[in-house]
Amino acid sequence: MGARKLLSSTAAFATAAGVGVAAWTQIERRMPTLRRYVVELPEGLETPALRILQIADPHLYPGQDFLVDFIRGLADEDFDFVVATGDNFGSIAGADMVRRAFEPLTDRPGAFVFGSNDYYSPRKKRWSTYLTGPSKHSKKRNVPDLPWEELASFFEFAGWVNLTNQAEVIDVPVKGSIFEGDASQTDLVRVGLIGVDDPHIKRDRIPQLPDGWYAADTMRLGITHAPYQRVLNEYTSDDAHLILAGHTHGGQLCVPGYGALVTNCDLPRELASGMAAWSFAGKESPLHVSAGLGTSPYAPVRFACRPEASIIEMRPAARA
């Protein structure tokens, strides 16, 4: 084969591969999945198991009805408590979609924090800027244009705890573990919750720990939208049994065998999604970063990074 023909064949192959990848990014973003994890609690914590459903980054806007249907369908799963980690809106036109998506889940207890896209609608920008570092929020843009107050009221009316720079200890009714015991038995789990407003736009203020946080029967959860290290360090210092975050979209465009290219915050890219351990000052807390469900309407693509929700079972340590 001559050099000219070889170059022509190579160019044709590269073009075909590029078209294939572009097509797959549109298919994959429409393939949400439910992931499951188990976290073993430390010995000495006197509590039943707790199953947590985490919903992160739906970014709902017209045309995303497949995500609405997926989120609604999660109501049929086995879980005790919902944690919504923010970025629910993809545009103001998605407000009704957000309420419709979450409505079946509000029969269960829950808690929530907000992300920047609960306050401010996304703006069009070059995708390449996302790959160069965390996105910037204009200081001139300080008046929210999304119905965050209405969404907060919707969640609060359902009895969900607003963790916007707040902390609280609550009792959550649970049934028997799906892994062991009688599933018809009902118990109460005492859960300590600490949350912040979105660190990505510097709205985070670590609240004072509530009474009962360190009680022997209290399971401790730290909640944030964006997993900035300053927040993870605080939660780890406070001995959280689990930290939940979203924001990263798992990198959204990943390289098979390598993983995420970016996290859109100061979290190392190796921790862009999934379960890991976060260490700080000699302490360690389990950290779950959800790859989330949606995308910006201006970058509606995913590659090697399926949209996801997660159920995490907090299981008491096995007795000898």
**pLDDT tens for the chain, residues 1 to 320:** 555 554 454 444 334 434 455 565 789 999 999 999 999 999 999 999 999 999 999 999 999 999 999 999 999 999 999 999 999 999 999 999 999 999 999 999 999 999 999 999 998 876 666 666 677 666 667 899 999 999 999 999 999 999 999 999 999 999 764 444 455 567 999 999 999 999 999 999 999 999 999 999 999 999 999 999 999 999 999 999 999 999 999 999 999 999 999 999 999 999 999 999 999 999 999 999 999 999 999 999 999 999 999 999 999 997 65
pLDDT of residue 306: 98
Backbone Cα Rg of the chain: 21
Q: What is d(CA 270, CA 135) in angstroms, rounded to the nearest whole number?
A: 19
Q: What is d(CA 53, CA 113) in angstroms, rounded to the nearest whole number?
A: 14
Residues 192-212 as b or e (16 or more Cβ within 10 Å = b): bbbbbbbbbbebbebeeeeee
Query: Strand, helix or coil at 56?
Result: coil
Confirm if 243 and 267 have CB atoms less than 8 A apart. no
pLDDT of residue 149: 99
pLDDT of residue 21: 57
Alpha helices (H) along the chain: 3-28, 65-73, 95-102, 116-119, 127-130, 148-157, 229-237
Strand order in the sheet with 167-175: 167-175, 186-195, 218-223, 242-245, 283-289, 274-280
pLDDT of residue 125: 73
Pick the CATH number of 34-125+164-315 from 3.90.1200, 3.60.21, 1.10.357, 2.60.40: 3.60.21
CA nearest to 163, candidates 238, 241, 239, 222: 222
pLDDT of residue 17: 39
Q: Which residues contact 79 (CB under 8 A, 6 or more apart)?
A: 51, 52, 53, 108, 311
Look up residue 218 and give its amino acid: T
Helix or strand run (H / E) with residue 267: none
pLDDT of residue 135: 74
